[in-house]
Amino acid sequence: MEYLRTSDLARAVGIHPNTVRLYETWGLIPPVERTPTGYRRFNRRHLDCLRLARTIYAAVYPGKALRNAGLEIILRAVADDWEGARSQAAAYQALVQVELDHAHKAVMQLERWAQGLQSESTPGVWSIGEAAELLGASLDKLRNWERNGLICVPRNPQNGYRQYGSAEIGRLRVIRLLCQAGYSHMAILRMFLRLDAGQTADLGQVLDTPDADEDIFSAADRWLSSLLSHQEMANQVFRLIDEHISACHSTKEI
């Protein structure tokens, strides 16, 4: 068997040797055999696990559900269960597709609402408690959306209490929909600033396109692009797993 050094793995993947050691400590590559003098002796399986882990962890943080699904792929490979890793990769790909479907559906409903095509209307004047109950959201969420500039709620001039009319309820429904679909407050605010300035077309693109002077803090700030990158990452994971399985089969045949 041909053995590899820490520096060989680091060079092959394009990382610092200390990062290889860190991945070993975290259990993202299999346990490593050592020489009598203490040097690590890696093999092809270690390298393939490292490539897999780097491919998954190099992606923009997608949230806990996708991150945990990605970790499960790595752990199956570390346990030398590459068929299981492939099954987990399929589950990851399916999860990304579900998120993409939610994101696209939310944009379609947003654009219908912005064009005045959304038929649902809630007449009357509602207190914050009543609005929260109507939407199935907490009071803290409604206050947080207002605090982050997503909505401006008129107040009763006599007592200062918030008064939610039909327009505010409609806007809150859109905010809730987009939040549930994975978009960040920053992305939603960016979209509303354009919408309130009179732009009613291409709002999905606005949600996914940060301004030049805008700091990007999370994958949700450009959620559609992030999900598409994870879809491509899942395809790359499949290729890495299939290459390892094919190499193992070839070795057994020799």
Residue 214 lies in a domain: no
Does 81 reside within a domain? no
Residue 177: give the domain boundaries: 109-200
Q: Which helix (H) or strand (E) holds 40?
A: strand 40-41
Query: Looking at the domain assignment, is residue 5 inside a domain?
Result: yes
Give CA–CA dist 173/169, Å, rounded. 6
The tally of domains found in the chain comes to 2
Write out pLDDT tens, residues 126-150.
Answer: 999 999 999 999 999 999 999 999 9
Q: Could you say which of 40, 58, 76 is where a domain stops?
A: 58
Residue 9 lies in a domain: yes
What is the mean pLDDT of the segment spanning 166-175?
A: 94
- Judge whether 171 lies within some domain: yes
With a CB cutoff of 8 Å and minimum separation 6, the contacts of 140 are none
Give me the percent of the chain exceeding a pLDDT of 90. Answer: 79
Residue where one domain finishes, among candidates 156, 173, 200: 200
Range from 8-12, 121-125, 142-146, 150-154 carrying the lowest mean pLDDT: 121-125
The verdict on 121 and 193 lying in the same domain is yes
pLDDT per residue as tens digits for the range 20-72 = 999 999 999 999 999 999 899 999 999 999 999 999 988 887 788 899 999 99
Task: Examine the pLDDT at 114 and tell me if it is beyond 60.
Answer: yes
